[in-house]
Amino acid sequence: MPDFATDALVFDVLGTLVDEPAGIRAGIRDLAPSLAGPAVEELTQVWQRHIDGEQRRIRDGGRPYTASDGLDREAARLVADTAGTGDPAAVAALALAGRRAPAWPDTVPGLARLAERFPLIGLSNAARTELLGLNARAGLRWHQALSAEDARAYKPDPAVYALAVTVSGVPPERLLMVAAHAWDLRAAQRLGLRTAYVARPVGDPPAPADRFDLYAEGLADLADQLGALAR
């Protein structure tokens, strides 16, 4: 294992600590209870394609910055139109579906264990209000939770990772970015952060060329590896 010192852990949230698609699926089922499973999955993909595409447009300068809760409202309207449901109250409820994402089974105990040894920083593309609701519902434990809204940008824009560097007050190489998305870790790596990939069913797996500092099957495995490095 690599030889390095870590002063704080920086966690991606959506996908890494919570099952974001599960929250969206639940919202779509509430919107249209008669939909079969394949239709729910197709609408979930409609939602995710819109969010991914609009965040990319913002990063590329194709539209002004819009916080993620605004993009969620757009996605909810698009999904409702596709499903043929136009009730404004139902669409408004669907727009909050991302805040209902459940934590992975190992998330809460894993964060508690890691928090015994490290400051924990959440770093999410979720807007401030969205992140607050998500953290509270999923029971996520932080010493500091940072929203990309504070940088008016979206990961993998380096300005987002710089938030964690500024707040922690330590050099990037003493921060460990933890994520289930290889693209997220690559961007953190470019800013000088150490990186730990955590496998999740909805993540973006590493490519053969990726070289991250740690590879973990879950948060318990990550805690074990960090404990071994400290000995």
Average pLDDT, the chain: 95
Q: Show contacts of 63-69: CB within 8 Å, 24+ apart.
A: 65/152, 65/153, 67/127, 67/128, 67/149, 68/98, 68/125, 68/126, 68/127, 68/130, 68/148, 68/149, 68/154, 69/95, 69/127, 69/129, 69/130
- For residues 226 and 117, give the distance between their C-alpha atoms in angstroms, rounded to a whole number: 10
DSSP 3-state of 32 = coil
- Identify the CATH homologous superfamily for domain 8-19+101-230: HAD superfamily/HAD-like (3.40.50.1000)
Are 15 and 180 in contact by the 8 Å Cβ rule? The answer is yes
pLDDT digits (tens, 9 = 90+) for 165-196: 999 999 999 999 999 999 999 999 999 999 99
Task: For residues 186 and 133, give the distance between their C-alpha atoms in angstroms, rounded to a whole number.
Answer: 28
Whole-model pTM: value is 0.95
- Which segments of 85-218 does DSSP mark as H helices, in order? 88-95, 107-115, 128-138, 158-168, 182-190
CATH architecture designation of domain 21-99: Orthogonal Bundle (1.10)
Q: Taking the CA of residue 222 as centre, how many other CA atoms within 13 Å lie in the half-sphere pointing to its CB?
A: 33
pLDDT digits (tens, 9 = 90+) for 47-65: 999 999 999 999 999 999 9
Write the single-letter amino acid at 199: A
Q: Is the pLDDT of residue 4 over 90?
A: no
| Residue 190 backbone class (left: φ over 0; alpha: ψ -120 to 50; beta: rest) | alpha
Same fold, 8-19+101-230 and 21-99: no
* pLDDT > 70: percent of the chain: 98
Q: Where are the domains of the chain?
A: 8-19+101-230, 21-99
Q: Which whole number is the average pLDDT over 194-201?
A: 97
- Tokens (6 digits) for 94: 């669907």
